[in-house]
Amino acid sequence: MADRGLGRVVSISSVSAQRGGGTSSTSACSASLGAVVSLVRAVARELSPLGVTADCVSPGPVDTDVMGGPLDDDRRADLASAGLVGRVGTVDDVAALTAFLLGPDAGNTTDDVNGGLHMS
Run of H or E including 120: none
Report the alpha-carbon distance of residue 24 to residue 68 in Å, rounded. Answer: 7
Q: What is the pLDDT of residue 23?
A: 62
Burial class (CB in 10 A: 0-12, 13-18, 19+), 49: exposed
Report the alpha-carbon distance of residue 108 to residue 51 in Å, rounded. Answer: 9
Q: What is the pLDDT of residue 116?
A: 55
What does the pLDDT profile of the chain (120 residues) look like in tens digits?
Answer: 999 999 999 999 988 887 777 666 688 888 999 999 999 999 999 999 999 999 999 888 888 877 667 788 898 898 888 777 888 889 999 999 999 999 988 888 776 666 555 554
Run of H or E including 55: strand 52-57
Q: Which domains does the chain have, with CATH numbers?
A: 7-113 (3.40.50.720)
Say if residues 12 and 98 touch (Cβ distance below 8 Å).
Answer: yes
